[in-house]
Every structure is written in structure tokens, then in C-alpha cells.
Structure 1
Amino acid sequence: MADNGGNIYEFDGFRLDVRERILSCGGKRLQIRDKAFDLLCALVDRSGSLVTKDELLSAIWPDTIVEENTLDKNVSLLRRLFSERLPDKHVIETVRGHGYRFALAVTTKPNAVASLEQAQQSSNPALANASEVDSSASPYEIGLHKLPPELILNGYPADESPTEPFKPLAGTRSKDSRGGRGLHVGLISLGSIALLILLYVVSHDSRPPHGGEPEARKIAVLPLANRTRDPNIEYLTDGITEGIIDDLAQLPGIKVLSRDSVFRFKNSEADMSGIASQLGADFVMSGEIDKVGDQFVISVRLVDSQDGAQIWGHQYVNNDDSLLRVQKQITLDVEESLHVKLGLRERGLLARGSTHNPAAYRLYLLGHYHNLKMTEPELLSGIQYFRKATEVDPGFAQAYVGLANCYLPLGIAGWHMPSRDALKESKSAATKALELDPKLATAHSALAWTLYLLDHDWNAAEKEFRQALTLSPFDSDIHRGLSHMLSLAGHHEEAIAEGERSLELDPLSLVSNTIFAQTLFFGGRTDDAIAQLNKTFEIESDFWIARNLLGRIYVSEGRYPEALHEFETARDHSGGGSIVPIAEIGYTYAKMGDRANALKLIEALHKQEGKRFVSFYSYAIIYNGLGDRKAAMVNLARSIHDCEADSLFLKAIGRWKPYMEDPKFDALIRPLNFEPTN
């Protein structure tokens, strides 16, 4: 078939410019997805004739495995577009069991620029062959003969350039032309998986809109599914997923949705397009881990959420003892096979803070798995594994970050040890990580938390958060941490801006949604805060931290019965892990005039001491409600001395505003250094 890629087609008031990739009607440009545009070109080019499904799949998704329903969806998109403007005409006919036919009369006009380029190529054969690329196999491509047939994934595609101009059909392809190239089989490399996705995203429609910088693309890395049926390797599936997320988050030009959002879809059977829509993701990566003998088979794939096409996929075989040994070589192999050269910055970031010791890495994954559960016993287990990892490899910076991230929640919650001691341990571990790798973003972020929670050095904390974002600009956790700090320090506009950035990267995170609502509340935007909490409840109706915050908002408005209901709901759904709602209930009883029940709760908290952590701040809250300023300030002094995290809310929460004019209170909170940050 002749190459008509430069033609302009006109039909019933429509104009289709293939070269410029523009579809217009009545002089107005219409929005149309890339693959739908290619499909329209294929049908219009052979208007009046049957174009088979096989021909369409071959032309629009060359060397890529897609289901026929992907083609059908794009046909439906075109039909909706035309039905809005030509309601009485059947533009695309279905030839049942075979394919489709474009039914309108079409006028073809050659594009002058394309004609000139075609003439130039005809006169210079070198130009015609310029796109030929050496496709010799990499030395790391080997066969899959050792694997049982049921584990060999058919047709993982080579990388595709979806924005390449439409190529007219060249006839029906052979039956095996969709089989794809040989599968890369080697040891799993988190860096190489991240790099492969990076390479595709950077090449996928990288043209800057309106002459500006290219917009960062958003990727959701779904948790790898555990197909081994062995619950003891959940730490491995979750750890590898986290590793991919962390690798991608450090690469420029990519926004990676955080763990909180994507792990809501763990073991989910939801449709990929639905997941992408909920997350606002341009691409979704999914995969699974299986095991054959002592070998893990890790299969991963990347789907373009725009049209549902699988654009990349690989299968890796490894044993866990050799998990990292060839990681660099796989990354180099990927770079060589795709003919892409990375800059020094990108290559360094892929291995940032890592280890080459398989035993240390396995211990790190176990520590990370326990850390994410965020209960006292799990955090203590995480500390043990991270410490062992640093003993096996004293230069493993990420393991020290893991230690810091375990001690931090212990310090905030007051579990197991005094808050001050836990925060000191967290700071020490973060500092050690930075000594080993000064450019490790997560270490800067971990240090920032301790600088304001422990040292009350707001300026230094902000500096560390900003440095972390310079190194990893699309890390939602860092944006959230900075937002929270700025909010407590009274910098509300900046805090809200950072909270918005965090939520953009973490749209389904319960914590991100709740913290953003709190930031709005502290910034005086109460109605917006309530609206944000209602969005949070759509994700999970009884998330106790959000219910507790709503109770605080109702208290600030004097709506005590409603506040009491929210605090009781928070208490009932906290799993017994927090006394915060109990203290709030005591405060609310006091404000409602029920002193007896407020005092009973103080007595109940005293009885809990020794069994669980009870903060001095909790007593201070209830005494505040009872109007006992002296008792409240005595407990606040102890809270500040012990570095209880709640004491940093003194400036933000309105219940303490009447105390601000008291010179004794001013002296009391002076160690918190509530001066404006630079």
C-alpha cells in the first residue's frame, strides 16, 4: 500500500490532517486520543472498504499485545465523537466477525510539505534508510527453556513509540507477528524496571505544550501480586514494589503516586482503566511474583491508561541470594538495548543509598515490611531487621533511613520509650545515612522531622525538607511533611500549597487527605476543611484520625454534641491504639458542663499509665476544658520537656488562644521557638 501519511482527508465538514495529527470540524480543532486518531486514519485511508481487525491491530499497535476490546473501545470513542456532530449518519460500520468500514465519502488532498519530503527521500536513498536500527540481541537475552510453559508469558512487547505518526496499513500481518521479541530473563533489578518505565515515559509525547517544558507524567505502580501462595514472602512483594516506587520518585520528569494510594488496590481485581481513572494516572504498572523451585519469576507490565494498550513488559528470573549482584549490569543492558544514554545524575540516583549485599538487602526488605504496619510491636521488629542490615553492610544508607523512620513514629506516639529518646535515635540514624550519602532525599526528610520535633529548629527543618524536594521533587511524603511543619509554624498559605502538591501525588491516601484538611482548618478555612474531610470519608467512612479532626472542628464552632459523636466514633475505630480521642471526649464533656464525666476520664487515664502511653498533653486538654489553667500549664510544661509531638499544636489549635496573653504561658512555650521561618 502506498505511504499516504502526508495526506489530508475531508468528509462531511470534517478535515483530517495526518501529518499534523489534527482532526477538525467546521474549522474547529477536536480533541482526540492518539490511538483513536491512528484508528481513524487507518479507516479513512481505505474508506468504503473492509479493514480487518487484524490489520488494524497490526498497524496501530505493532509488536504489541492488546486485546480486541481495546480496539473496540477506540471505535466506540470515534462513534461518540461523530454521533454528536452527524447524528443521522452511521460513520463507522461493523462487519460482524471481520472488522470495520468507514462509510462516508472521502476527498483526498496531498500535503505539500509531505510531498516535498517524499521527493527528497526518493532522490537520496540514505534518507530512506535512516530509521533502520541494529536489533541484535543483547547478551543478557536468554531462553526460557527451564521454566514450565504455564509461567512463560506470551507476547511481552518491545518498547513502542505511541506518538509516532500513523503508518498506513501494509497488508495483513502473519499470525506470529504479534508474538513479541525474546523475553529479557535475568536477576530482578529495581533500578532497571524503573529505568525502563522512565525511558518510555520520557519518549511518550515529550513535545512541550505551547512551547513550554514537558509536563511530568504520572505513574501508578500497583503492588506486585503474590502468586506463590506463601504468605511468608509478602515482605518481598511489597518491598520490591516500594523499591520501584522509590527508584522512580528520584528520576526527573515523573510523578509517582505514593504507596498509600496504590496499596489500596493490593489484590484488587478492578479494571486497570478504572484504577487509572481513580488515581489520575497516565500509566499503570502491575505484575506478579511466582516461584519455580528456588527461583523467583517476576513479571511486570506497563499499560497506557489512555487506550489500555500494554506498552512494555518483561519477565525476570532470579534467586533471592543474587537479587542485587547484576542490577547494574541489567540497567546497562537496558540502556544499551534501547539506545538511550543516561546523564550522570540519573544513573547515580538509580543506585542512591543502596547495597550490593544480598543478605543486607533481604534484611532491609523485612524491616521495611514491618515498618509499614505502624504498630508498636511491628516497629520494634523493623528496628531489629534494619539494625542487622547495617551490621551486615555498615555502608547501607537506606537501612539507616529505615531505622530513622521506625523510631520517628515511636517518638510521636510515645510507644516503648520516652518520646525524646526515640526522636534522638531517629535523628542519629538519619544523620548517619546522610554521612554515607549526602544526596539521599529520604534521609534529609527524616532528619527534618527530628529537627523540629526534637530540637524545635524550624529553620533547619525547613531547609532539610527543601533539600529533600530538590533531590526528589515528586515525593508526596516529603511535600506532606513540609506542609505539616509549615502549618504548625503558622505559615498557612505555604502549607496549603505544599499540601495540594502532596494530595496531587497521593489522591487516595487517607493520611494525606486528613492532613490537608487539618492544614485548611489551621489556616482559617473551616468550610474547606470540612469539605475535604467529607472527601476523605468517601474513601473510608470511619478513618478515626479524620473523625477526630472533624470533632475538633465542631468544638471550635461550639457544636459540642456533634463533636462528642465524632470523638466517640474515632475512639471506637482507633483499635484501642490511641488515647487522643479519649482526651478529646473529656475536654468536650467539660465544655458541655459535665465535670463529673470529665474528671472520671482523668482518673481513667491515670489508671492506664504503666499499661500504655498516656501523654501529659492529654491531661492538659481536659484541664483546659475544666478551666483549671494551673493544672493545664503544669502538664503542658511536662509535655514540652518530654518532646511530646502534640505540644507543637499549641499555636495552631484555638483552645489555647486565651492562654497566649498570659506571660507565664509565653515563657512556657518559648522553648518551642515559634518564630517565623525564613
Structure 2
Amino acid sequence: MGAEMTFMFADCVLDPERRELTRAGGPVAIGPQVFDLLLYLVENRGRVVSKDDLLDAVWQGRIVSESTLASHINAVRRAIGDSGQEQRLVRTVARKGFRFVGNVNGSGRLPDGPAEPVKAEPDMLVLPDKPSIAVLPFLNLSGDAGQDYFADGVVEDIILALSRMRWLFVIARNSSFRYRGRTGDVKQVGRDLGVRYLLEGSVRRSAGRVRITGQLIDAGSGVHLWAERFESTLDDIFELQDQVAECVVGAIAPQIERAEIERARRKPPRSLDAHDHHLRGVACVQRGTRDALDEALLSFRRAIELDPDYAAAHGMAAWCHFWRKVNGWMTDGRHDVAEGIRLARRAVELGRNDAVALTRAGHVLGHLDGDLDGAVDLLDRALLLDPNLASAWFLSGFLKVWRGEAEDALERFARAMRLSPLDPEIYRMQAGTAAAHYLAGRFEAALSWAEKSSREMPSFLLVAAVIAACHAQAGRTEEARQAMRRLRELDPALRLSGLRDWLPIQRPEDLSLFAEGLRRAGLPE
């Protein structure tokens, strides 16, 4: 088709000669690559165009990441009033490519009108589909330029740690370091780098001590989402550098996730894509109640419908089935177990390099499939991929508890709580700590941690069981009976004979210790 032709579809007019897109009579400002991508789809609407076709036509064969291509496709859809869910005009053909499916009328050039031609911003970057962040150079407030290396080292370690999170798009060091010594509007910096979040900070070193501050900013609104200060002695400056990077990443990752969840919640239901549904599901899982879990499972299923290769959504959906079992909420036990195993295996298959998928799926397989050793291997791989993932630390801690490795488990729970002290799932970390102490014979410590968890999540069946067993082991008969009444209210069907099926406790002596406490508290055989 000739370049002189304009294309009309829906309420849009695409004029290749003027490089102008109008919608509902008004100009739409889009970047040049987004324009070229739309034009190529429209001109080739009679066929499915592959990703390679698009890379050749729009990027002249340059290497471009999957996320970049996906973000440009989404930008095309937004510009013409479409969405990934509706796909009225641009349809994704699974494992094949994309096709323009709108009805198109071609004509000669439009007559000149009063509207000004669109002036596309040549360097305007489209936000990636997933959360995006740039870590700007930290200010050296030490009054000694020779200390720049330390501030730079902290930033480089943070960038490296964030880059291990596959759900997060991280700007490379060489791009973010262009802003060294420059001050400017954070919104403009966000636009320049094409990111939604910015992390900035400062380093002050004096008298044998160092103080590092960091703050996370929403580049779109300029709102500060998180700020923290770290102080320490300079006994080992490089160890301190590593510790600061770990603390910063562990703190801001949940903040970014929460900000993204809020963003997804504000979207109208019809505009939600697979990632939005996944985020909504995560928020429901964090609430931990039975109704919230049912809602979470629906969200993860919808995410999988929209993106059948979404590894993390498979892992989280599997985890919902596990949680139904472990908390006594199954209505069809055989189905929940089988479906949980199926989803978990699919998550592992799709997500060999996805720490979130491996974490949730591995934990499910350890519980539902009984393969604790294989499950530990999967979570250790997740920790290699993302050493700052709190959920991988505490869920691997549970697996260690059931394998009889209480002390190793306690270290993992402590690491998780240090990484994410305000985590919505902190009650799970506390529960795991309680279980580890119980099986190590420290009943008072176990009770203290279990009560903390119970205050956060009163419906946690394992916690109710630990509380009852602890009171019984300490000879507090009345408290044990009260705790057992609460346990029986949560799951009237629980019996001592079903203990092995409920929890994958591997060592016979650990199973006997737990059964002894519950028997003394009054749990029926």
C-alpha cells in the first residue's frame, strides 16, 4: 500500500505522510517507533506478523528485549483505544505474533484542517509492562571526592541485586550514572529513562562511621514512597556496602510491589492485563483469609487465561491450592491436591529462571507431592536467582523445619524478617519460627512466636496447633484445652491420625513430639 494513503479504523485516522495519528478528531502524541509499529500492523493486516517481522521492520534487526517489544505493543493499543484484554484491534496470536483485526478503510490524503500536526517526542520512552526503576548515583556528602568510589559501589550493588528480580525492569548503571552531579525534576528524569520509580540517596562518612540514606520516588507523581537511613562503623567498608545494598533492596522491593498493587486496584476491571490480575491475586494472598484466597485463585486463573506462559501466576495459583489444604479449607481434597501439583509443575517448567515461580511452586511440591529434597533444591535455586527474595527465605525455612533442620530454618526465618520487616506475610515467618522452636523442644519460645503470628492472622491452623501443643507440653491444662477448642473450631475434621498427611514432617521423632503435644491438649485420635 502506498505511503500516500491514510487509514481509517474505529475512531482513528492514521496518516503515514504526515506521521499523524488522530483519534476521535484529536491528535494523539506517540513516539516514532510506536507509530512505525502501528503502521506496519495496519499495512500487513491480512496476516499474522511475527516478532521477527516487527524487529526487522521497526528496529532494523537490532536486538530488542521481549519487554521492550511488549511495551511498544501496549503503547500501540493505548494510542488507538484498545487493550491487551479486549484486543478489538490488535490481537495477540499465541506463539505466532500479532495481527491487526480492525476494519480499515483507505483513502487519499485528508484535506488540510485547522489541527496542528502531531509533534512526536523523538526520545520519549514507553514504560515497560512490568515495574521499572532507575537507581541514581548517590550523593557523596563526606566532603572528600576520594570517597565517591564507596557511594558508587553501594549503587552498583543495589542495581545488581535489583536486576536479579525478573519481575522488575532495571535501568543499567551506565544510563543512570549519566545523572551524576545533576539536579533536576524527578518527573523529567523518569520520562528520560522511561521508568516508573527512582531510587536516590546519599552517603556521609566521618569519624569512623558511615551514614547512608535512601528514598524511593514515584517518578510519575513525584511522591516519596519510602525512605530509610542506615548507620554503621567502618570496620569493613565492603561488607558494609553489601549489607546496605541488601537492606535497601529488601526494603524497597515490597514497597514497589505494594505501589503496583495499588495501581492495579485503581484500574477499571475491563482494562486489566495478566500482570494486573497477578498483582491483585498477590494482594489477596497476603490477606490470608479464606475468602481472600478464593478471590486470589480467580485472579491467578484470569492471569493465566490472558498469558498461558505466566510462570509466577501458575506458581501462585498452585500455592493457593496448597494453602487450602494446610489450613483445612478444602472442599474437594483430591482435586485441590492434584491441581496444585499440576500448576506447580507447570510453573517450574515455565519459570526455570523465575525466582517467584520456583519459590511458590517448590514449596507446593514439597507439601503436596511429598518431595522435600527436590523442593529445597528448587528454593535454593530461587535464592541463587534472587538472594533478596523474602518469600524464598521463609518458605525454604518451612521446608527445613519439616526436614528436621530447625536451626537452619530459624536462620532463614530471621533472614526473611530482616529483609522485609513490614512484610504483609510476616505472620507466616513468625509461624515458621514457632514451629522450628517447638520441634527443637523450646516450647516457651515457640509459644511466644506463635502468639505473635496468631495476633496477625487468627485463622492460621498451624499456629493454633502449636499454641495448643505448647501449653500442653508446659503442663498448662486449662490453657491447652482452650487452645484446642479454638483449633477444633478452625478445623473440626483434624485428627492425630491425619497429622502426617496434613504436614510433611519427615523425621518420626518430630512427628511424635508434635502428636504428643496435641494429644495432651485433647486432639482426638
Instruction: Give TM-score, length-normalised by structure 1.
Output: 0.40
Larger radius of gyration: 1
Using the size of structure 2 for normalisation, the TM-score is 0.50
